[in-house]
Amino acid sequence: MTALVLDDVCKAFGKVEVLRNIDLAVEDGEFVVFVGPSGCGKSTLLRVIAGLEDATSGRIAIGGQPVNGVPPAKRGIAMVFQSYALYPHLNVRDNMALGLKQEGAPRTLIAERVAEASRMLELGAYLDRRPAELSGGQRQRVAIGRAIVRQPRLFLFDEPLSNLDASLRMNTRIEIAALHRSLSAAMIYVTHDQTEAMTLADRIVVLRDGRVEQIGTPMELYNNPANRFVAGFLGAPSMNFLRAEPLGGPPGATLGIRPEHLTVGADGPLRGEVTHVEKLGGDTNILVRTEGDETLTVRVFGQYDVAVGAALRLGYDERHAFLFAQDGSRLSNR
């Protein structure tokens, strides 16, 4: 069964087109992540799926049922927001139960579902607390619990981790992945954090200016980006781009090489000077300004001692280099 189908979905606010001809099918149990730069339309697309905004044109089906014009509460979805959107005057138990209560679910069913969700999310000790008495991570778990109790066919997450600090983000990310495995429901997750996209997604949808640039598994997108935009968006540190012509490529073309595919070596074709070194403990990032005045990032696995100002020669394996035309389209592997 297909959890969600978007067929030629467009959305405009007045004359401003925000979503253009979006086609997408999400299978039951699939984890799909929408990524793209600020303003590309990720949240609007999620809101159109949720029914919080109407599509200007196109068809939307959830669980095989057309839902254009169907209100959010009747779409079989549950949404988790960045802002948590918890009710401050209600305790954790009542925040989680509220949606089911409003739907008129029997009390015993509500109690069962809240107990189950709070066990999954380890919230059992906090059921009588109000949101103000919880940490940010605990509040986000309550917001996720509120979605779980409704047993939706489709979960929608809008940047749920962006208010959390780095270590909590990682823990919560792992929890969300575990939750997905145990619930086996379809999930759509909006983020601008490419690490979240790479680590959580079965498939990633890369958006730009309201259009889909590419859809694929994280490794398909990483290893085989359709264009320069996708190549530059996924990967941290991001892909290096340099003029291809001095290296024997066609005029106007750009060569793309990921930082981990540049190697420091005496006979490499690129010469430059070290401008900055980031020693991360496990890895080392070296910034190099080339003779052609291009700045490259080199990722060396392990610890590497080099001083700012040192002269370096860099090489690369041609099998890992990409060639892009002036308009950003992919020409071929080098």
- Which residues between 12 and 31 bind ligand ATP (CB under 6 A)? 13, 16, 18
Question: Using CB under 6 A, which of 42, 93, 153, 203 touches ligand ATP?
Answer: 42
DSSP 129: -
Piece of the chain touching ligand ATP by CB under 6 A; list 36-44, 66-74, 132-140, 253-261: 36-44
Nearer to ligand ATP, 44 or 284 (CB): 44
Piece of the chain touching ligand ATP by CB under 6 A; list 10-18, 72-80, 143-151, 250-258: 10-18
Q: If DSSP codes are grouped into helix, strand and coil, which group holds residue 59?
A: strand
- Which residues between 167 and 206 bind ligand ATP (CB under 6 A)? 192
Which residues lie closer than 8 Å to 187 by C-beta, 6 or more apart? Answer: 30, 31, 32, 154, 155, 156, 157, 180
CA dist list (Å): 9 to 19, 155, 212: 7, 19, 11
The least CB distance from residue 304 to ligand ATP, in Å, is: 35
The least CB distance from residue 17 to ligand ATP, in Å, is: 9
DSSP 219-261: HHHHHS-SBHHHHHHSSSSPPEEEESGGGT--TT-EEEE-GGG
152 near ligand ATP, judged by CB under 6 A: no
Q: Measured between alpha carbons, how far is 3 from 34 in angstroms, rounded to an integer?
A: 16
Piece of the chain touching ligand ATP by CB under 6 A; list 32-40, 55-63, 232-240, 301-309: 32-40
Piece of the chain touching ligand ATP by CB under 6 A; list 34-42, 168-176, 278-286, 310-318: 34-42
Question: Using CB under 6 A, which of 4, 9, 31, 44 touches ligand ATP?
Answer: 44
Nearer to ligand ATP, 82 or 254 (CB): 82
63 near ligand ATP, judged by CB under 6 A: no
CA dist list (Å): 232 to 139, 168, 173, 283: 34, 27, 23, 21
36 near ligand ATP, judged by CB under 6 A: yes
Q: If DSSP codes are grouped into helix, strand and coil, which group holds residue 289?
A: strand
Nearer to ligand ATP, 68 or 162 (CB): 162
43 near ligand ATP, judged by CB under 6 A: yes
| H helix or E strand, kind and range, residue 180 | helix 166-183
**Interface ranges with ligand ATP (CB under 6 A):** 13, 16, 18, 36, 38-44, 192
